């Protein structure tokens, strides 16, 4: 198994396991798919930092013209550190921004605050007035559109905590006109994550387009429409997944809704850009039989990749150097003391022995980003492969790293 021309086995030997491996070339290919599909429209791609916030990846995307969708002051500092020139291409989402975070972003003169409540807009007006800085904002509206996905990552229904009911948006934009330090820049939506059909994006965009037209009648011209992120991939059949066609259909469904509107289209893809470009490499520690079940215990655990435990997510698992012999049904599990610590259940896999390497595929998004130190496990190293060059972009944590913030022993 390879990442581009680079053998995964050689990376495991060089950098140890568990190890996250990413392909820069594949990430940029994905970015290009959006650029191509949007060539007829003014647009800005704002990579959703929370999907994978490695500084080296932020720099890579910024170098290729992307902006960023952030959800915290910490992510703002990541962009500032990796690509300060991209701060004016940042949009700031999130339902619970603090005063400190608003101040930080005002000072950085980001492109737009994606405001999720009237109270947040009032606070933003106050902080902007204090600093005498104009704040460009977009209301994040909740379009009440259902998108089929896991309930934990669905966000576009009125029962969710996100956004402002779209029926209230017009009134709030009108009221905001009276605020000297606020500037209505655009409108945004984000209906959820891992959405596999283009249709809900079009439906949400149709509601947003109606609002944009109403506001234009009110004399409030919006410059941009932010469709959020959420475009999904095929975890179960990654090799036959047609990414280009998926992007084209997605853009077409939104273009239909936006027909005739001269607005800039902002997109916030996260998973779609990085998920399939990454794998988690792990070594088999033990193979153990308990009654009728066989457990393959790996040196990676749920603290390194929590998606199976958190979202019942399915990841393809492949032996890096497959052995001959009959496949058998196994559970692939980690060493963490939780029954939820599994990567696969009842999976048919080629024979595996202690010391073998396996790759957990499509782990580039919400993998390292959601990792933790549970069980006092230092987190994996990360390697970025560009062409034939493999570069470590984050060293493996040490136990000393984990203790560093702790006090109270003296
Ligand atoms: C999480 C999130 C994204 C990215 O979602 P993906 O499914 O990874 O594309 C984009 N915008 C907002 C507001 C988000 O919360």
CATH 3.20.20.10 for the 93-269 domain, yes or no: yes
Looking at the CA of residue 188, tell me the nearest atom of ligand 1.
13
Sign of the alpha-carbon dihedral angle for 98, 99, 102, 103: negative
CA of 193 to the centre of ligand 1 (A): 6
Region 91-95 average pLDDT: 96
Q: Please report the pLDDT score of residue 159 as a whole number.
A: 73
Number of H helices, E strands in the chain: 12, 20
Please choose, from the candidates 290, 281, 353, the residue with its C-alpha nearest in 3D space to the C-alpha of residue 320. 281
Q: Are 163 and 189 in contact (CB under 8 A)?
A: yes
With bands split at pLDDT 50, 70 and 90, how would you rate the model's confidence at 150? confident
The terminus-to-terminus CA distance of the chain in angstroms comes to 50
Intrachain domains 93-269 and 276-400 with the same fold = no
Q: Are 243 and 36 in contact (CB under 8 A)?
A: no
Q: Which of 96, 152, 229 to mutate to test the pocket of ligand 1 (most atoms within 8 A of CB)?
A: 229
With bands split at pLDDT 50, 70 and 90, how would you rate the model's confidence at 332? very high
Looking at the CA of residue 50, tell me the nearest atom of ligand 1.
1
Q: Are 258 and 36 in contact (CB under 8 A)?
A: no
Ranking 35-39, 68-72, 247-251, 335-339 by mean pLDDT, the lowest is 335-339
DSSP state of 18: S
Please choose, from the candidates 267, 187, 180, 257, the residue with its C-alpha nearest in 3D space to the C-alpha of residue 221. 187
- Spatial CB neighbours of 340, under 8 Å, sequence gap ≥ 6: 302, 309
Region 182-191 average pLDDT: 97
Q: Which of 53, 231, 268 to mutate to test the pocket of ligand 1 (most atoms within 8 A of CB)?
A: 268
CATH class of 276-400: mainly beta
DSSP of 155-211, one letter per residue? Answer: --STTSSSSEEHHHHHHHHHHHTT-TTEEEEEEE---BSSB--SHHHHHHHHHHHHH
Looking at the CA of residue 366, tell me the nearest atom of ligand 1.
8
CA of 47 to the centre of ligand 1 (A): 9
Six-digit token string for 291? 């009654």
Residues 356 and 204: their CA atoms lie apart, in Å, by 47
Looking at the CA of residue 231, tell me the nearest atom of ligand 1.
9
Give ligand 1 pocket residues (Cβ under 6 A). Answer: 48, 50-51, 69, 93, 190, 193-194, 228-231, 268-272, 365
Region 356-369 average pLDDT: 98
Q: Which of 49, 200, 230, 278 to mutate to test the pocket of ligand 1 (most atoms within 8 A of CB)?
A: 230
H or E, element range at 285: strand 278-290
Looking at the CA of residue 93, tell me the nearest atom of ligand 1.
13
CA of 275 to the centre of ligand 1 (A): 13
H or E, element range at 403: helix 399-403
The three-state secondary structure class of 213 is helix
CA of 220 to the centre of ligand 1 (A): 27
Radius of gyration of the chain measured on its C-alpha atoms = 23
Largest CA distance in the chain: 73
Query: Is there a cis peptide before residue 61, judged by omega within 30 degrees of 0?
Result: no
CA of 49 to the centre of ligand 1 (A): 9
Q: Spell out where 71-180 has E strands.
A: 90-92, 112-115, 135-142, 164-165
Show me where the domains of the chain are located: 93-269, 276-400
Q: Are 53 and 20 in contact (CB under 8 A)?
A: no
Q: Is the pLDDT of residue 398 over 90?
A: yes
Set 119, 337, 404, 409: catalytic member: 337
Residue 72, Cα to own-chain centre: how many angstroms? Answer: 14
Looking at the CA of residue 228, tell me the nearest atom of ligand 1.
11
Q: Please report the pLDDT score of residue 145 as a whole number.
A: 86
Residue 256, Cα to own-chain centre: how many angstroms? Answer: 26
Report the predicted TM-score, pTM, of the whole model to 2 decimal places.
0.96
Each residue's pLDDT tens digit, 21-39: 999 999 999 999 999 999 9
Q: Is the pLDDT of residue 151 over 80?
A: no
With bands split at pLDDT 50, 70 and 90, how would you rate the model's confidence at 290? very high
Sign of the alpha-carbon dihedral angle for 279, 73, 193, 232: negative
Please choose, from the candidates 252, 154, 172, 160, the residue with its C-alpha nearest in 3D space to the C-alpha of residue 215. 172
Catalytic residue flag (residue 337): yes
Sign of the alpha-carbon dihedral angle for 389, 29, 65, 271: negative
Region 220-231 average pLDDT: 98
Q: Is the pLDDT of residue 161 over 80?
A: no
CA of 158 to the centre of ligand 1 (A): 18
CA of 269 to the centre of ligand 1 (A): 6
Q: Are 29 and 387 in contact (CB under 8 A)?
A: no
Each residue's pLDDT tens digit, 50-65: 999 999 999 999 999 9
User: Which residues are registered as beta bridge partners of 225?
Assistant: 187, 265
């Amino acid at each position: 198994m390879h990442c581009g021309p680079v053998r995964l086995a050689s990376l495991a030997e060089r950098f140890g396991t568990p190890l996250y491996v990413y392909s820069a070339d594949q990430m940029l290919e994905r970015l290009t798919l959006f650029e191509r599909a949007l060539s007829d429209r003014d647009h800005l791609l704002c990579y959703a930092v929370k999907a994978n916030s490695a500084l080296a990846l932020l720099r890579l995307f910024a170098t290729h013209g992307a902006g960023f969708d952030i959800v915290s002051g910490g992510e703002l500092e990541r962009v500032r550190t990796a690509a300060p020139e991209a701060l004016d291409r940042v949009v700031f989402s999130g339902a619970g921004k603090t005063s400190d975070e608003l101040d930080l972003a005002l000072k950085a003169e980001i492109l737009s605050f994606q405001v999720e409540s009237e109270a947040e807009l009032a606070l933003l007006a106050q902080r902007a007035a204090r600093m005498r800085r104009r704040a460009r904002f977009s209301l994040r509206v909740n379009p009440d559109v259902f998108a089929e996905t896991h309930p934990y990552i669905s966000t576009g229904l009125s029962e969710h905590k996100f956004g402002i009911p779209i029926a209230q948006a017009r009134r709030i934009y009108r009221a905001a006109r009276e605020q000297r330090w606020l500037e209505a820049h655009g409108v945004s939506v984000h209906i959820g994550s891992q959405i596999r059909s283009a249709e809900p994006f079009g439906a949400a965009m149709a509601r947003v387009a109606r609002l944009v037209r109403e506001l234009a009648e009110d004399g409030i011209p919006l410059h941009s429409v932010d469709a959020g992120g959420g475009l999904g991939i095929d975890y179960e059949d990654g090799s036959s997944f047609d990414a280009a066609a998926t992007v084209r259909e997605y853009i077409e469904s939104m273009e239909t809704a936006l027909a005739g509107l001269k607005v800039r289209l902002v997109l916030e893809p996260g998973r779609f850009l990085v998920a399939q470009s990454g794998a988690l490499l792990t070594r088999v520690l033990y193979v153990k039989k308990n009654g009728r079940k066989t457990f393959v215990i790996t040196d990676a655990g749920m603290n390194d990749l929590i998606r199976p435990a958190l979202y019942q997510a399915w990841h393809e698992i492949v032996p890096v150097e497959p052995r001959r012999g009959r496949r058998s049904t196994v559970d692939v599990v980690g060493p963490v003391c939780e029954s939820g610590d599994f990567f696969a259940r009842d999976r048919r896999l080629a024979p595996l022995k202690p010391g073998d390497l396996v790759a957990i595929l499509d782990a580039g998004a919400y993998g390292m980003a959601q990792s933790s130190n549970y069980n006092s496990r230092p987190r994996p190293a990360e390697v970025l492969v560009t062409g034939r060059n493999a570069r470590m972009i984050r060293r493996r944590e040490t136990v000393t790293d984990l203790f560093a913030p702790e006090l109270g022993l003296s």
